[in-house]
Amino acid sequence: MSQHFIPAVFYRGGTSKGVFFNAKVLPEDRDTLSRMFVAALGSPDPYGRQLDGMGGGVSSLSKAVIIGPPTHPDADVDYTFIQIAVDQPVADWSNNCGNLSSAVGHFAVDEGLVAAKDGEALVRIHQTNTRKLIHSRFQVKDGKAQTQGDYVIAGVATPGSRIRLDFLDPDGAVTGKLLPSGNVVDTIDLGGDGRFEVSIVDATSLIVYVAATAFGLTGAETPDEIEASPGVMDKLEAIRRRTGVLLGLGANPEAVGLQTPRIAMVAVPVTFKALDGETFGPDQYDIGTRMISMQRAHKAIPGTGGLNLGVATQIAGTIPNRLSRPANAAGEVRVANPSGLVSVGAVVRQKDGMWTADSAVLFRTARRLMQGEVAIPASGGQ
C-alpha cells in the first residue's frame, strides 16, 4: 500500500497549528515516529510550502503532538511536542511549544482522556520534552471544551474562549538552570563579524537575547524586513549556534540543533505597525521582540518565547531587563511582536544571590479544526 492512515486531530493552539495524536494509536519507536511525522507534515520541501502534507510552510504551522496517559503522579496526561523542519527531514524533540500547549487540555477532554464537568476545567499536563508541569484552565460546556468566546489574541482573527496556562517551576527546562552560563550577560565573538552581548535564559524554553540595535535595527521591523536585512539572519544564526556550543548543546556550531536554543532580538518600545495594519505606540507596551524560529523570522511570538521573555525582563541586568519597562503590580509585561501585543506574567525572585522563577502565565485560545485520519506516505514508514 502506498500510504496508510492514522487517527489524528488538527488543532489551532494560540498562533500555531499542529497534528495531534493519541499515543495509543502510535508505535513506540522514536525514529519511526520521526519519519511518520516528517512525512505527514510534508517535509522536506525545498519549495518551503509543505504542499504535500499538513504543514503550512513555516515553523509555527509545522508541528506534531502526542497525548497519552500520565507518567507523572501530579498530571492527568503526558504531552510530547515535535517540531518538524520545513525544508529538511528533521523532527526535533528537544523543546516545547507554548502555543500548542493551549490545545492539550481541549484534546484531553474531548477525547475522553480526562473527565470534566461543565464550568471551568483544570487539566494537569506533564510536558515530557521539558519534564515540567503545566496547568490548563478553560471552560467546558456539554462535556466538551468550549471554543466560542470573546477573548482575542494577536495573530488570530477570530475571538475564542480564554485558556489560562500556568507553567510551574519553568526555569531550567532545557539545561536545568535559569541562567545556564551563570551570567546575566555573556559575549559571543564572531571574529570579523563582531562581538555581541547576549543574555541566555532557560525558562519554559532556552532563548538567547540580543539587542536589535546591535544589528542597526529598531525592533519595529516586519519578519520580511528582518530577513531582507543584509547579514542579519546569518549573524543571528551564528550567535545562536555558538551559544549552543557554549552551553554544551553541540561539539561545534554545526552540531547544534535547529530548534534549541532559539534566538530573539529585543528593543525598547517604539511605534510599529502590526501585520494586520494596526499601529501601536510606545506607550502601549513594555518591550518589543522579534524572535527567530527554525531559521525564519517568526510572524508572531512562540508561546514559550513570550513566557521566557516575561521571566527574563524581571532578572536584573539581563538585556531584556535593561530594555523593558518594569512589570506591573501583577507581574505582567506587555510584549510587542509582529502580530501585535501579548501580555505575559511571571513570578521571579532572588534568594541568596540566585534567581528562580516560580511560575509563568500565558493566556491563549484554541480550536479543533479537523478530525479523522491523516495519510502517512510509504516514505514515512510504520
Closest of 99, 116, 119 to residue 165, by C-alpha:
99
Task: Supply the mean pLDDT for the chain.
Answer: 96
pLDDT band of 318, cuts 50, 70, 90: very high
Instruction: List pLDDT tens digits, range 173-200.
Output: 999 999 999 999 999 999 999 999 999 9
- Helix or strand run (H / E) with residue 336: strand 332-337
Q: Which range among 106-120, 121-135, 288-302 shows the weakest confidence by mean pLDDT?
A: 288-302
Instruction: List pLDDT tens digits, range 204-247.
Output: 999 999 999 999 999 999 999 999 999 999 999 999 999 999 99
**Neighbouring C-beta atoms of residue 284, cutoff 10 Å:** 14
Taking residues 296-301, what's their average pLDDT? Answer: 94
Q: What is the CATH number of domain 186-358?
A: 3.10.310.10
Question: What DSSP string runs through 60-85?
Answer: GG-EEEEEE--SSTT-SEEEEEEEE-
Taking residues 77-93, what's their average pLDDT? Answer: 97
Q: Find the farthest-apart pair of alpha carbons in the chain and give their distance in angstroms, rounded.
A: 63
Work out the end-to-end distance of the chain between its first and last CA atoms, rounded to an integer number of angstroms.
12
Within its chain, how far is the Cα of 348 from the centroid? 20
pLDDT at 350 over 70: yes
Contacts of 314 (CB under 8 A, 6+ apart): 321, 327, 331, 333, 346, 348
Query: Rg (Cα) of the chain, in Å, rounded?
Result: 20
Question: Can you tell me which residue has the cell 527554525?
Answer: 294
Query: For residue 139, what is the DSSP state?
Result: E
Instruction: List pLDDT tens digits, range 12-61.
Output: 999 999 999 999 999 999 999 999 999 999 999 999 999 999 999 999 99
Instruction: Report the SS3 class of residue 343.
Output: strand
Taking residues 68-77, what's their average pLDDT? Answer: 98
This prediction has a pTM of 0.89
Question: Can you tell me which residue has the cell 547579514?
Answer: 231
**Neighbouring C-beta atoms of residue 38, cutoff 10 Å:** 26
**Neighbouring C-beta atoms of residue 371, cutoff 10 Å:** 13
Contacts of 351 (CB under 8 A, 6+ apart): none
pLDDT value at residue 225: 98
pLDDT at 367 over 90: yes
Contacts of 364 (CB under 8 A, 6+ apart): 13, 14, 99, 101, 102, 153, 162, 163, 165, 303
pLDDT at 380 over 80: no
Cα atoms in the Cβ-side hemisphere of radius 13 Å centred on 284: 14
10 forms beta bridges with 19, 370
pLDDT value at residue 332: 87
pLDDT at 381 over 80: no
Taking residues 168-176, what's their average pLDDT? Answer: 95
Q: φ, ψ for residue 228 (rounded to 5)?
A: -90, -10
Closest of 260, 190, 266 to residue 231, by C-alpha:
190
Taking residues 337-352, what's their average pLDDT? Answer: 93
- Helix or strand run (H / E) with residue 177: none
pLDDT at 267 over 80: yes
Q: Is-same-fold flag (3-162+366-380; 186-358)? A: yes
Q: Please report, rounded to a whole number, the percentage of residues in the chain having pLDDT higher than 90.
A: 93
Integer Cα distance of 198 and 345 in angstroms: 22
Per residue in 309-335, is it b (16+ CB within 10 Å) or e — as a string?
A: bbbbbbbeebbbbbbbeebeeebebbb
Closest of 106, 38, 40 to residue 76, by C-alpha:
106
Taking residues 121-148, what's their average pLDDT? Answer: 98
Domain spans, the chain? 3-162+366-380, 186-358
Arch. (CATH architecture) of 3-162+366-380:
Roll (3.10)
Closest of 79, 55, 84, 85 to residue 65, by C-alpha:
79
Taking residues 100-111, what's their average pLDDT? Answer: 99
Contacts of 182 (CB under 8 A, 6+ apart): none
Closest of 157, 159, 167, 164 to residue 129, by C-alpha:
167
Question: What DSSP string runs through 210-223?
Answer: EEGGGGT--S---H
The one-letter amino acid code at 12 reads: R
